[in-house]
């Protein structure tokens, strides 16, 4: 029996999919990339922006034929299933879907699948709770070199554009011992790079500490900073990354830990969202333009070789042309290594959706194009700085576009493509950068 899985959205969702794959393989299923060959098709959905919905409904249309021909099982899970208007639409317009499961019931997937198979009935397993943590799920990781480890889940920030707090529940952190033991095991298996994941990754254990919720310290870990320090000591692990943080949680001990832990990559993601103080306030981001720029300055002073990436939304309700200029101004000043740009998308149930002064699509696109042009010119300029330098690169595998070449990443997460022997895969090596090509660099051993 074979399964096919399609994942939308962020790295947390990808990590959840690795767990779904682990559970399915434990049940005896084998993975296939070819949907036509599958006995079960699983969608792990995202609902952060609208285009993910269009993608799901498009795919469901395609799958209807397979269902009719082969009687495959179709299961849909993830964030979008926590939205009632979406599950209602699926039940009404796509009644052939067998299983709907939410973000809080992922661990019950084998049980739900078994029930759907044995009882031949539709299963809906979605609950709306603050969230719990389930340890010990089997996992089948995509890579043998880099591993993602979810350390906390949920979000308490309620940025006014964002659906995440409604579909992922409140912040809760995994126990230090569970995380450290998982990473030790990964190191034993030969993993080189660990990415710590959380919707608010650097507020790890913050709620527990603030509310006096008891947790067991393990090897001195009682905060995000101490967690970084403990992982930094694990033999075998060479690199530590983390996403996605909130600027408000870059408190002094976190900055100090990034600066002093040699394995923690010096590329830090610092989501800006908007550069104008009034817009930031409406977004409920809890910092002003000046405070953001001060934080950048402080981090640059304390962390040698710091590079920054960011997320930006254009066209939040009420954003004027002039206010948008503040976003461009921050981008010009900070010179990010990478900018993830998004057009504001209305999300049902968020305060942003109820705001009256929505920006016309055409205007949002104009602003997006303007920002994109600025970002691309900066990336080109920034890439030039790499040419002629020596960069430490973790070799990840064959290049997707040319199997003769290898590919890896710098500390700053830049892709470097180079000629080399396949036995370098999984190793850290020094490469001389010889040229730049917008989205990747070319290197030589």
The tokens describing 367, both together, are 């602003």
Instruction: Report the run of H or E that residue 3 belongs to, with start and end.
Output: strand 2-7
Residues in 287-306 that interact with ligand 5AD by CB under 6 A: none
Report yes or no: 162 and 154 within 8 Å, Cβ to Cβ: no
The tokens describing 344, both together, are 């504001």
Distance of alpha carbon 101 from alpha carbon 350, whole angstroms: 22
Q: Nearest-CA neighbor of 167 among 55, 9, 24, 366?
A: 9
162 contributes a contact to ligand 5AD by CB under 6 A: yes
Residue 292 beta carbon to ligand SF4: minimum distance, rounded to whole angstroms: 14
Convert residues 112-151 into a mask of x (bound to ligand 5AD by CB under 6 A) and - (unbound).
----------------------------------------
Residue 200 beta carbon to ligand SF4: minimum distance, rounded to whole angstroms: 6
Looking at the Cβ atoms of 162 and 331, the one nearer to ligand SF4 is 162
Selection from ligand 5AD, ligand SF4, none that 221 binds (CB < 5 to 8 A by kind) is: none
3-state secondary structure 369-437: HHHHHHHHHHHHHHHHHHCCCEEEEEEEEECCCCCCCEEEECCCCCEEEECCCHHHCCCEEEEEEEEEC
Asked whether the bond before 245 is cis by omega within 30 degrees of 0, the reply is no
311 contributes a contact to ligand 5AD by CB under 6 A: yes
Report yes or no: 346 and 339 within 8 Å, Cβ to Cβ: no
Selection from ligand 5AD, ligand SF4, none that 165 binds (CB < 5 to 8 A by kind) is: ligand SF4
Residue 339 bridge partners (DSSP): 310
Selection from ligand SF4, ligand 5AD, none that 347 binds (CB < 5 to 8 A by kind) is: ligand 5AD
Residues in 370-389 that interact with ligand SF4 by CB under 6 A: none
82 contributes a contact to ligand SF4 by CB under 6 A: no
Report yes or no: 433 and 391 within 8 Å, Cβ to Cβ: yes
Distance of alpha carbon 252 from alpha carbon 240, whole angstroms: 19
345 contributes a contact to ligand 5AD by CB under 6 A: yes
Among 72, 106, 313, 441, binds ligand 5AD (CB under 6 A): 313
154 contributes a contact to ligand SF4 by CB under 6 A: no
Residue 25 beta carbon to ligand 5AD: minimum distance, rounded to whole angstroms: 29
Phi, psi (deg, nearest 5) at residue 235? -60, 140
> How far is C-alpha 103 from the chain's CA centre?
15
Residues in 378-437 that interact with ligand 5AD by CB under 6 A: none
246 contributes a contact to ligand SF4 by CB under 6 A: yes
Burial 134-152 (b: 16+ CB within 10 A, else e): eeebebebeeebbbbbbbb
Among 161, 224, 250, 287, binds ligand 5AD (CB under 6 A): 161
Helix axes 252-260, 224-232, angle to 10 degrees: 10
Among 289, 347, 367, 409, binds ligand 5AD (CB under 6 A): 347
Convert residues 158-177 into a mask of x (bound to ligand SF4 by CB under 6 A) and - (unbound).
xx--x-xx------------
Helices and strands (DSSP H and E) totals, the chain:
14, 19
Selection from ligand SF4, ligand 5AD, none that 342 binds (CB < 5 to 8 A by kind) is: ligand 5AD
Selection from ligand 5AD, ligand SF4, none that 254 binds (CB < 5 to 8 A by kind) is: none
Residues in 14-53 that interact with ligand 5AD by CB under 6 A: 48-49
Chain residues that interact with ligand 5AD, rule: CB under 6 A: 48-49, 161-162, 271, 273, 311, 313, 342, 344-345, 347
Chain residues that interact with ligand SF4, rule: CB under 6 A: 155, 157-159, 162, 164-165, 199-200, 246
């Amino acid at each position: 029996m074979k399964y096919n899985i399609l994942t939308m959205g962020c790295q947390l969702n990808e990590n959840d999919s690795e767990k779904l794959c682990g559970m399915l393989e434990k049940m005896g299923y084998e993975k296939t990339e070819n949907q036509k060959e599958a006995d079960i098709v699983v969608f792990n959905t995202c609902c952060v922006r609208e285009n993910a919905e269009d993608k799901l409904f498009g795919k469901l249309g395609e799958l209807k034929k397979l269902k009719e021909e082969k009687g495959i099982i179709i299961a849909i899970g993830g964030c979008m299933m926590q939205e009632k208007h979406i599950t209602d639409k699926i039940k009404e317009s796509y009644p052939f879907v067998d299983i709907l499961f939410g973000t809080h019931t992922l661990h019950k997937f084998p049980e739900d699948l078994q029930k759907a198979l044995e009882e031949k009935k539709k299963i809906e397993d979605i609950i709306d709770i603050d969230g719990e943590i389930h340890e010990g799920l089997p996992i089948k990781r995509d890579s043998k070199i880099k591993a993602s480890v979810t350390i906390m889940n949920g979000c308490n920030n309620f940025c006014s554009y964002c659906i995440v707090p409604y579909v992922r529940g409140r912040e809760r952190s995994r126990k230090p011992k569970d995380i450290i033991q998982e990473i030790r095991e990964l190191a034993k298996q030969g993993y080189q790079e660990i990415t710590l994941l959380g919707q608010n990754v650097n507020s790890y254990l913050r709620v527990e500490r603030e509310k006096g919720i008891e947790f067991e310290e393990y090897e001195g870990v009682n905060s995000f900073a101490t967690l970084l320090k403990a992982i930094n000591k694990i033999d075998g692990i060479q690199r530590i990354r983390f996403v996605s943080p909130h600027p408000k949680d870059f408190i002094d001990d976190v900055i100090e830990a990034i600066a002093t832990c040699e394995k923690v990559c010096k590329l830090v993601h610092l989501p800006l969202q908007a550069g104008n103080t009034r817009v930031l306030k409406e977004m409920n981001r809890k910092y002003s333009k000046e405070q953001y720029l001060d934080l950048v300055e402080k981090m640059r002073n304390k962390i040698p070789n710091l590079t920054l990436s960011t997320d930006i939304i254009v066209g939040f309700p009420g954003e004027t042309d002039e206010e948008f200029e503040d976003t461009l101004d921050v981008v010009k000043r900070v010179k990010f290594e990478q900018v993830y740009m998004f057009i504001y998308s209305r999300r049902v149930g968020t305060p942003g959706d109820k705001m009256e002064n929505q920006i016309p699509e055409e205007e949002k696109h104009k602003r997006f194009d303007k920002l994109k042009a600025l970002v691309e010119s900066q990336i080109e300029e920034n890439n030039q700085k790499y040419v002629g330098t020596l960069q430490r690169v973790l070799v990840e595998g064959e290049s997707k576009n040319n199997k003769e070449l290898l590919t890896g990443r710098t500390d700053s997460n830049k892709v470097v493509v180079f000629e080399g022997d396949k036995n370098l895969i999984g190793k850290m090596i020094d490469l001389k950068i010889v040229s730049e090509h917008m989205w990747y660099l070319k290197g030589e051993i």
